[in-house]
Amino acid sequence: MDDGQLVAQAQAGDLSAFDELVRRHHVSVYCYLYRTCRNGAEAEEMTQVAFVKAWEALRGFRGQASFKTWLFRIATNLCINRLSRRKPSDPVSEEIPAPRRDEPEEALRQRLLSERIGRALEALPADQRSALVLSIYEEMSHEEIAAAMGRSPASVNSLLYRARIGVRRALEDVHARDLTRTSAIDNRESCVYECEEHEV
């Protein structure tokens, strides 16, 4: 059964049809909100609120856009409001734990990459960040992003270009700042390697 049919059933008062829509879309909504606000607790709370709001407003959904796009519009409004209320002094993202000595190399690299991308995204204004996440991770077309953000496709093109330039600069800055840290990891690796050779 496609989303349109489930929406029609839910509009007719069938809560179990709406439950199925929740099961289908909660992961993508959560990931989108997490990547945009970089905080698990906030993303979880906003995901919950987004679905409650969607249920409340479902009677007004006329199907001009897909249910997913409509849902993402609710999530985007919540997210941009939340980010605009953040003060510069507020801690933006969750505390990232320091590398453990016994952490597997691949896990450590993935974590550092996430941290680096997270910091680069945080350097962008909220609307650019939302557009970029929808484009890169949700693989939405520019028209879908425009519908999800309540903007024209032309303004989305401009937003995405500025976001790409912004994130590139931010990644360069983050990369420069992380060079010391990365070399420390490399030193740790070479140390482990030398120790292993010594033991042999």
Partner 1 sequence: MKCDKEKLVSLADRCLSEHEARAVEEHVAGCANCRQELELLKSDAAMLRQEPKPEVPAYLATRIIAGVRQRQVQAGPWLIATPVGQRGLSRIWARAAAVVLVALGVWLGTALARATVGPQQSFADRLAQVGLELPNGEDK
Q: Looking at 3, 55, 151, 185, which residue binds partner 1 (CB under 8 A)?
A: 55
Q: Six-digit token pair at 152?
A: 């024209």
CB atoms within 10 A of CB 46: 24
SS3 state at 55: helix
- CB of residue 188 vs partner 1: minimum separation in angstroms? 22
SS3 state at 46: helix
Place of tokens 């976001």: 163
Q: Looking at 6, 34, 67, 74, which residue binds partner 1 (CB under 8 A)?
A: 34
151 binds partner 1 (CB under 8 A): no
Give the CA angle between residues 50, 37, 144 to the nearest 5°: 60
Instruction: Label residue 185 left, alpha or beta by phi (over 0 means left) and psi (-120 to 50 means alpha).
Output: alpha
Nearer to partner 1, 19 or 186 (CB): 19
- CB of residue 136 vs partner 1: minimum separation in angstroms? 5
15 binds partner 1 (CB under 8 A): yes
- CB of residue 63 vs partner 1: minimum separation in angstroms? 15
SS3 state at 80: helix
- DSSP, res 187: H
Residues of this chain that bind partner 1 (CB under 8 A): 10-13, 15, 18-19, 22-23, 26-27, 30-31, 34-35, 40, 43-44, 47-48, 51-52, 55-56, 58-59, 110, 113-114, 117, 132, 135-137, 141-143, 157-158, 160-161, 164, 167-168, 171
